[in-house]
Structure 1
Amino acid sequence: MTDLSLSVTDIRILQILQNEAGISNVALAEKVGMSPSPCLRRVKQLEASGVIRRQVALLDRKKVGLGVLATIQVRLQRHTEAGAEDFAHAMNDLPEILSCWAMTGRQDFLLVAVASNIESFGDFVTHQLLSMPNVRDVQSSLVLKEYKNHTAIPLPKAI
């Protein structure tokens, strides 16, 4: 299913689920004006098609002891497809890394990372990232204050 084949009802379901992933099927069906069985079928179709990748609980990182949030720019020594793929796969094994993007420009990758405190962040950068064989250098920036951190993506307006 592509974005062109999303019905108005699909869009409304997605808008609600982005903000209330834990909503019951009965409540969701009521909000979109459907009976529960067809609504559940629609949600399952959206999941099967990959439009809904997964539903998660969003945690407050500070309340679980992760007071440091940082962006990290990484440059690799060797710019080969295999080297980039190896680095990207390694990031999947590091729980401190929340996001990893291959980039254009001076840096090869942009990471978002969390840590409990500045010392643990420094240890992570020094002992994990900088010790990787293909990493040339890293530059990190600490987040001072979050003004916006949303996961909902903009969807076409439901009629």
Structure 2
Amino acid sequence: MRTLDAIDRKILALVQADARMATHEIAERVGLSPSPCARRIRLLERDGVIKGYAAIVDQGKVGLPVSAFASIKLARQSEEDLERFSRAVARWPEVVDCYLMTGQRDYLMRIVVRDLAAYEVFLKEKLTRLDGVASIETSFALGQVKHAEALPVA
């Protein structure tokens, strides 16, 4: 993969701010003509730097106001156990983020649900039924201080 230059980084900052911005507007803002700008965007997409485009949906306005953060410890950290856990989590739409961690816990995940009862159902019907889970600690977000979709690339 090629190294990102200053223009690539400006393009990325603009696309992250507004993915629907027209190529000619991006080109104007980064000091290129539309064709070279479109070519750079295609290369960023091809190289996987731009992984896709999505709408940012307000979780509260779609009836999913609760964010639960679950720290998971597995009984063992064998490759097979880690893979089994990852495959299961990938199937659960309630889990919007999941990270393999260092430290005392193996995974940290964010689960979005409509209420505490829905989290209880998720916990009882999915997470606790997964083989190899030794312990689960859950914390609930009281409010969101900051949320950013954009990476600080520029």
Bin for the TM-score computed over the shorter chain: over 0.9
Note the alpha carbon deviations across 1:28-85, whole angstroms, 9 max, x for none. Answer: 1222122222111100001111111112111100001101011100111122111011
The equivalent of 2:73 in structure 1 is 75
Note the alpha carbon deviations across 1:69-102, whole angstroms, 9 max, x for none. Answer: 1110011112211101110111111000011111
Within the alignment, does 1:28 sit opposite 2:26 as a pair?
Answer: yes
Q: Which has the higher contact order (CA 8 A, sep 6+)?
A: 2
Provide the rounded CA distance (Å) in 1 between the counterparts of 2:91 and 2:56: 20
Provide the rounded CA distance (Å) in 2 between the counterparts of 1:137 and 1:130: 9
Give every structure 1 segment of 4 or more consecutive aligned residues whose post-TM-superposition deviation is greater than 4 Å. none
Unaligned runs of 5+ in 2: none
Aligned ranges for residues 54-133 of structure 1 at < 5 Å? 54-133=52-131
The equivalent of 1:8 in structure 2 is 6
TM-score (norm 2): 0.95
Provide the rounded CA distance (Å) in 1 between the counterparts of 2:21 and 2:53: 11
Between 1:86-95 and 1:27-36, the stretch displaced more is: 27-36
What number of residue pairs does the alignment pair up?
Answer: 154
TM-score (norm 1): 0.92
Structure 2 counterpart SS, 1:130: helix
The equivalent of 1:19 in structure 2 is 17
Following superposition, the deviation at residue 110 of structure 1 comes to 0.5
Following superposition, the deviation at residue 6 of structure 1 comes to 1.1
The code of the aligned residue for 1:120 comes to: A
Structure 1 counterpart SS, 2:129: coil
Structure 2 counterpart SS, 1:136: strand
Provide the rounded CA distance (Å) in 1 between the counterparts of 2:69 and 2:25: 38
